[in-house]
Amino acid sequence: MSDITIKQLAEQVKMPVEKLLGQLAEAGMHFSAADQLISTTERMKLLGFLRRTHGKGGDADAADDSAPRQITLKRRKLSEIKVATPGGRGAASTAKTVNVEVRAKRTYVKRSVIADEAAVDGEREEALRKLQESQQQRADEERARAQAEQRRHEEEASRQEEARRRQAEEEEARRLAEAQAQAAEAAVAAVPAEPATTEPAVSEPVPAAPATPGVQRLDTSSLGLILPRVHEPRRREKKPPVAPAPAAPAPAPAPVAEAARAAAGKSRHEVRERDEGPGGKRFASGELHLSDAARRSKRGKPGRGTPREGARNQPASGTHGFSRPTAPVVREVPIGDSNLVADLAQKMAVKGSEVVKALFKMGVMATINQAIDRDTATLVVEELGHKPVDASQNDAEAALAAHTQSAELEGEKQPRPPVVTIMGHVDHGKTSLLDYIRRTKVAAGEAGGITRHIGAYHVETPKGVITFLDTPGHAAFTAMRARGAQLTDIVVLVVAADDGVMPQTIEAVQHARAAKVPLIVALNKMDKADANPDHVKQGLANLEVIPEDWGGDTMFVPVSAKTGMGIDELLDAISVQAEVMELKAVVDGPASGVVIESSLDKGRGPVATVLVQQGTLKRGDFVVCGIEYGRMRALIDETGKTVQEAGPSIPVQVLGLSGVPEAGDDFVVVADERLARQVAAERQQKRRETRLVSTAKANRLEDIMAQMGQGNGQQTLNILVKADVQGSVEALREALGQIGNDQVRVNVIAAGVGGITESDATLAAASKALIIGFNVRADASARKVIDANGLDVRYFSIIYDVIDQVKQAASGLLGVEVREEIIGVAQVREVFRSSKFGAVAGCMVIEGTVKRNKPIRVLRDNTVVFQGELESLRRFKELVDEVRSGMECGIAVKQYNDVKVGDQIECFERIEVARTL
């Protein structure tokens, strides 16, 4: 749509031009004339303003609450009508024009408002209905409560009435019994001694009462009286005393027996009604075994409602059912590598304070939230009388072990290339020898001529494929050499023929013996004129490495990495040794192996160099590597080419791990990512628990007492180390941790792989630490923190430079040592008195030189009596700076006048000596 004028727009929307100009002004666009052009953008802006104003703008959910809920439109329409008016008499009618104005007012309400009002009305009706229902329910409850209260009052009144009736019956029975007793006494007094012959009123005699000594039995049959049986309430009955066995009663007449049974039945009914209430059942619910006290406790009502739960669950004896165990309970407590004190207490069902007390008795200071190791936990459990058992292994680890074992057992083993590790002293030509074999120039690019990490290569030789591992020779890389010896099949010990056996040579021999791998000695630098192979053989023979030509079993091969002499013989020796060992591995199956080296690349992420030992590692496999896991995104060989798979004894670089693994960690290919993630998580948790246990070991009582005895004189130099590969980090941490003495120690607060980041700089600033970057640099954000806090950052590429610099920094913490050195001794020969200087000693310098600006001591009988300064040193009235041995001088001691003949004046000076480690 092209631009149009405001007048044309007003005609299109059927709106006056003045009103349209007003709306444009409200929308922030000012137009003054109707013939001005308005663009499409301005028209869309006006439309948006009108929609927002009338509540129709944008998303309905995001509409402003302040938008109008309804609008009212007022319309006014003007029209004219002509009305005919009659004229006068004889005149014609005329037409009159009348103006008619129609005003209309309409109100429009938003549909959402109508829906909201309908919803509010529905909610109001629902709330009103619920209120009526609740009121009705409350009224029903009140009515039911009133009825229940009325029934309870009626039952209480009937119970009281029944009690009064029973009391009246008992009183009536008691009076009747008294009257019968009186009548019987009167009858006994009136009856003659001989028994009457008249027939009694009752044809059958009643049962005879038991005979009682000293009491004459009354025969009531002659009186025609039947005495009723009065039954007392069962609760008031007492156990009668033991009496002699009664005589066998005579058979009772039928009417008397019926009357007795009726009376007995009535009495039982009354007793049941008295005990249980009207209509109650005494033996309900099969509780025939309950005593009266138990029934009363069960029937008791503590308040309104049902009987108490405790009274319902009480046993028949009326006491609780808990009984104390007669013997101590011995539980089996599972023990893991790390155990929290609170968890141990819960497993043993004892209080945590008991476990803490037992630990204190053992000398371990641990709280309830700290972790203890397996041995300590076992001792605590046995001390508290329980049985420790080993905790079950993790399910994920067990599944992984079963998966790896089944893969090794099911696969068919085939011959594999040998893995050869090159070891030896620094600068003996290890990397140069391997460089000649590979036909490359690896050694030329190494800083300081020192290999900083394990290099892994597989080489195609005329004798077959051989995998070489190049290890560093510096003393700090002991862990790397030990790891290389553990991974290898054959160790090639490189010894310079012109240098002989050195410390790292001895260490390499020890590593090879510990790993139980065969040893081949390469006598390097044989092209030099001062080469002495016999000297090398003698030195190795002292280490029990005997050459074959001396009757031993170790092959010695003279080589030269510079000229290539003996390289073929060395490869032949390696091939022969590999054939003897018959090296085999499973080729088809999931891969497993070990991490040789790892690093953090800025563009590729975590990178690990792994050596495959079993199976075939393929691209896309899921791998668990220590506490890290991931999917293999790429496999790269030592030349930088991407490969699809790697078999046994082949080293490759892998990409795709979740983090940087530690050198020496095992890696295993698993079926899916879920198992890999679960195994990595469990290993991470176990490593964290182990770290907590190692931290808690420092809380032993003897360690704390030892630290208290040392005092606080030791100073600490904090260092943060970042390196390019994991092996260098490990070597630096170990080498720097060994620097220090009783006055100062080096503390490596953090060490990691990769560049120096902002978080590293922040940690160093908080810990006041020295930052060391080994073949890495700080990024831009880290440099800002370093500059802001004034941190000391030092970059290195040679490891012995790092050790020397840290030793110097640690020595700076030691400060300087002030030593006193005696430079001259003068003997007092005569004492003179001076009005200006007081006592002046005439002396002869007998040793060294006496200087004027140096401190002195006055010795008498080899005992220091004064220490101060020289006030004046003169020779023949001249003020001199020094007097040499064998010359006389006059000495005035400042603020000391008690100089005597025979004293010695010792002149000394203080020298500051920097202390070193």
**Beta strand 622-625 with 628-636: parallel, antiparallel or unpaired?**
antiparallel
- Please, which residues bridge with residue 39 across strands? none
Q: How far apart are CA 33 and CA 270, in angstroms?
A: 116
Distance of CA 587 to the CA centre of its chain: 41
CA neighbor of 727 nearest in space, from 451, 417, 422, 491: 451
Q: How far apart are CA 405 and CA 408, in angstroms?
A: 5
| Residue numbers belonging to the annotated binding site | 424-431, 470-474, 524-527
Q: In the block, which residue shows the tokens 């009508």?
A: 81
**Beta strand 651-657 with 490-496: parallel, antiparallel or unpaired?**
unpaired
Pair of tokens at residue 214: 């000293």
| Residue 615 to residues 1, 397, 589, 725, Cα–Cα distance (Å) | 72, 20, 5, 27
Q: Please report which helix (H) or strand (E) contains residue 179, including its range.
A: helix 111-190
The contacts of residue 846 (CB under 8 Å, 6+ apart) are 825, 826, 827, 885, 886
| Amino acid occupying residue 76 | R
Q: How far apart are CA 85 and CA 95, in angstroms?
A: 6
Q: In the block, which residue shows the tokens 């006491």?
A: 319
| Residue 10 to residues 5, 17, 25, 745, 894, Cα–Cα distance (Å) | 9, 6, 15, 89, 114
| Residue numbers belonging to the annotated binding site for GTP | 424-431, 470-474, 524-527
Q: How far apart are CA 716 and CA 785, in angstroms?
A: 23
Q: Please provide residue 492's backbone torsions phi and psi, each rounded to the nearest 5 degrees.
A: -100, 115
Q: How far apart are CA 374 and CA 693, in angstroms?
A: 9
**Beta strand 464-470 with 793-796: parallel, antiparallel or unpaired?**
unpaired
Count Cβ atoms below 10 Å from residue 461 Cβ, excluding itself.
17
Q: What is the DSSP string of 754-811?
A: SSB-HHHHHHHHHHT-EEEEES--B-HHHHHHHHHHT--EEEESSHHHHHHHHHHHHH
| Amino acid occupying residue 254 | A
| Amino acid occupying residue 8 | Q
| Residue 95 to residues 57, 78, 89, 662, Cα–Cα distance (Å) | 52, 19, 16, 112
Count Cβ atoms below 10 Å from residue 905 Cβ, excluding itself.
23
CA neighbor of 751 nearest in space, from 779, 776, 772: 772
Pair of tokens at residue 456: 């892994």
Q: Are residues 358 and 384 in contact, defined by beta-carbon separation less than 8 angstroms?
A: yes
Q: How far apart are CA 702 and CA 704, in angstroms?
A: 5
| Residue 378 to residues 365, 373, 700, 786, 791, Cα–Cα distance (Å) | 16, 9, 17, 49, 47
Q: How many CA atoms lie within 13 A of 574 on its CB side?
A: 28
Q: How far apart are CA 761 and CA 782, in angstroms?
A: 6
Q: How far apart are CA 646 and CA 592, in angstroms?
A: 11
Q: How many CA atoms lie within 13 A of 437 on its CB side?
A: 30
Q: Please provide residue 842's backbone torsions phi and psi, each rounded to the nearest 5 degrees.
A: -85, 120
Distance of CA 5 to the CA centre of its chain: 73
Q: How far apart are CA 150 and CA 358, in angstroms?
A: 66
Q: How far apart are CA 629 and CA 614, in angstroms?
A: 18
Q: How far apart are CA 821 and CA 882, in angstroms?
A: 16
Q: How far apart are CA 745 and CA 741, in angstroms?
A: 6
